[in-house]
Amino acid sequence: MKKAILSFGLLSTISIFGQQTSYDTDSQMKSTEVDEVLIQGNRLQTPFSEATRDIQVISQKQIEALPAKSINEVLSYISGVDIRQRGPFGTQSDISIDGGTSEQTIVLINGVKMIDAQSAHNMMNLPIPLSAIDHIEVIRGAAARIYGINALTGAVNIVTKKGKRSSVTADLQAGSSFQSKDEGDGSGIYAGNAAEATGIFGTEQQSQLFSFAHSDYNGQRYNSAGKITRVFYNGNYAFNKNNSIQAMAGHVHNHFGANGFYAAPGDVDSEEVTETSVFSLSSRHTFGNFTLSPRISDRYGEDDYRYFRDNLSKGRSVHYTNTLMLELNSSLKTGIGTFGFGVESRLEKISSSNIGEHERDNHGMYAELKTGFGERIHGTAGIYGNYNTDFGYQVYPGIDVAYLLNDYWKISANIGSGQRIPSFTDLYLNQRPGNVGNELLQPESAWNYEGNVQFNKGNVQFKTGYFYRNIKEFIDWVRENPSKPYAPENLGQTKMQGVYARLRQDFKVAYKQSFGYDVSYNYLKPSFESTTEKQSKYTLESLKHQLVAGIHYSINDFSVQLKNRLLNRELGDSYNVADVHLNYKVQNILLYTEVSNLFNAKYLEAGAVPMPTRWFSLGVKLQWYQD
C-alpha cells in the first residue's frame, strides 16, 4: 500500500512539472475532433462544443490507449462514474453515477435503452466489443427530459462506429497473474485470453459493421472463471440526403462462477449464466425544417442463477424478461430555435421462478426547445410526461443554460428532474429465507441542481462544478436484524452534494514526442432523512472521494500511459489501484502490453468478491483501412 501511495505522489509531481512544457498541436487536433462530436440524446442532437450540461466524451483513440479490457474498465476511469465489478474481463458489474444506485443510472447503445426490468445487475451485459465503439457519452444528473424513466442520476450512451470506407480490426490478447490456482479449482495458474474482430463495409451511401468477440478466463480465485461471447451488427443506409434507415442487432452469452457475488459465504459454489439479445430498427426522414425519426427496438434477457452449480434441483433462479420499445421522435427548426417532441412506449414482461409472471406498460411524451440568444447563450428547456400502468402519471421538467464569457470560458447551469420505476425484483422477489420483494413500493423521484465553469484554450481543458440532488421515496434493501430477510422499502429522502474538477494538458516535447497529464477529483457528501433504523444493504456504499490521475507519453510509434485511481467509500478503507499500458505500432500492427493493479492492492468493489491481484497482459491488434 505504501508503494501505491508513493506512486500517486510521483504521478502528481510529474503532472505539476509537465505544466511548464511547450504546446502540443496534436492534442489540439484531438480536442477539435471531440468538439465536433454530436451528442446523440434520444431527441435533439447537440454538438459537444455547444453542450449545456456536464457531458464527458471518451473517444476510440482514448479507449485504445487505456489499460482496459472491457467497457466496464474503461468507465472506471471516468469522473463521477462508479463501476463496482465482481470480476474482470466484463464478467459482471454494477454502474452508478455520483453516489446513486445501479438502478438509477441507465445505459444505452446508439440511443437504445438497456434497462433490465428484472434487475440492474444485468444492465452491463452488453454485446459490444471495444473495437466496435466510436465514442462513449457520459451525462450526469437527473435526465428524464432527455432519456425518460430511470435516468435519475445520469446516463451512459455507447455509440458504435460507422464509416464511408471499409476497415477491419482484429485484436488478440492473453494475460495471467502467474499465481497458482486455489485448491479444488483445477491445476496450473490463473490466466485468460480474448479475441475480437470488427469489420466495417462502408461507401458514400451506407455503412455495415460486424463484430465478434470471445473471452475465456479461468478466474483469479476459486470458482471465478468466466466465458463471454459477443456478436454485434450495426447498419446505416442513406437512400438520399433526406431519408435513411438504421438497424442494430446483438447477442451476448455470459457464463461465470459467482463465488461471493450475492450471498456470501454460502454461495462459494454458485454460478450464473446470462444472455442478452438486442434489436433495433429505425429511420430518419427530413422534410425541409422538419425531421421525423420512428424506432422499434427490443431487449430480451435470460438470467439463470445456480446457487449450487453441481446440483440444479435446488437453489436455482431462472428469469426471462422482454422489453419492446416503440418511439416516435421529431424536431422542427424555427426562427426561435429547434423544437423537439415525440412519444414512446415500453412494454415489459417477466417470467421467473421466484418473481413470477408480471407485465406492465410505460408510456411517455416529451416536448423541448433548444435555442440561443446571440452567439454566447445556449439553452434547452423541456418537459417529460410519463404514465405507468402500475404507478400512474408523473411529469418531469428540466432546463439547461450555458453562457460563453469569451472564446475560452463557459458557465453552465441546469435544473433537472427524474424518476426510477421499481424493478420486478424490487416488487415481487421471493427468495425466503433470503431476500423478498415489496409490492407496496412507490417510484423514486429526484430533483438535481448543477452549475459548472469550463476553460478550454489550446492544450488546456479544465472544468469544475457543484451539484445538489434530492431523491424522494428513496428505495433501499433493509432488514431488522441478521436473522431477517432483506426487503426493499421507501426510506424517505436522500440528499447528495458533490463537487468535481477535471484538468487535462498536453505538450509537444520535441519532434514526434508528446507528453501530457490528466487529473479528476470527485467529492460526495450524502445525507439521509430516513423513517427507519433498520440495517441498510446499499445506502452507505457510494464513493466519497474519487481521484483519478494519469500521465501519457509518446515518441515516434511508441506510447505509454499510466493511470492511478484512489477511491474511498462512505464505509470502508481507501484503496489505490495503478495500471500501466504500453503501445508500439509497426505499420498496421499495434503491439501492446499492460499491467493491471501494478502494486498488488487488495480491495473489494461489490459483494464479497476480492478484486484481482497484479495481472499481466500482452496483445496484438491488426488494423486495415481501405485506401
Supply the Cα-derived Rg of the chain in whole angstroms: 24
Neighbours of 70 (CB within 10 A): 23
> Domain span at residue 572?
2-625
Band of residue 316 on the pLDDT scale cut at 50, 70, 90: very high
Mean pLDDT, range 487-516, rounded to an integer: 92
- Pick the closest to residue 27 from 513, 592, 589 (CA basis): 513
Q: CA torsion, points 65, 66, 70, 75, in degrees to nearest 10? A: -130
* Main-chain phi, psi angles of 391, to 5 degrees: -125, 0
Per-residue DSSP letter, 294: E
> Under DSSP, is residue 424 helix (H, G, I), strand (E, B) or coil?
helix
- Residue listed under C-alpha cell 458489474: 93
Cα separation of 378 and 548, whole Å? Answer: 31
Q: What is the β-pairing status of strands 46-47 and 377-388? A: unpaired
Mean of pLDDT over the chain? 88
285 grid coordinates = 426522414
CA 107 to chain centre: 6
Cα separation of 291 and 274, whole Å? Answer: 38
Number of separate domains in the chain:
1
Band of residue 15 on the pLDDT scale cut at 50, 70, 90: very low
User: How many alpha carbons lie under 13 Å from residue 8 in its C-beta half-sphere?
Assistant: 18
Structure confidence at residue 44 (pLDDT): 61
CATH number of the domain that residue 256 is part of: 2.40.170.20
Cα separation of 566 and 550, whole Å? Answer: 12
Q: Which of residues 288 and 51 earns the better pLDDT score? A: 288
Band of residue 492 on the pLDDT scale cut at 50, 70, 90: confident
Band of residue 42 on the pLDDT scale cut at 50, 70, 90: low
Residue 60: is its pLDDT beyond 60? yes
Band of residue 12 on the pLDDT scale cut at 50, 70, 90: very low
Mean pLDDT, range 378-389, rounded to an integer: 94
Which amino acid is present at 604? Answer: L
Task: Report pLDDT digits (tens) over 66-115.
Answer: 999 899 999 999 999 999 888 767 788 899 999 988 899 999 999 999 99
Task: Report pLDDT digits (tens) over 122-155.
Answer: 899 999 999 999 999 999 888 788 888 888 899 9
Mean pLDDT, range 391-420, rounded to an integer: 94
Q: What is the pTM of this model?
A: 0.91
Least confident of 4-18, 380-394, 538-552: 4-18
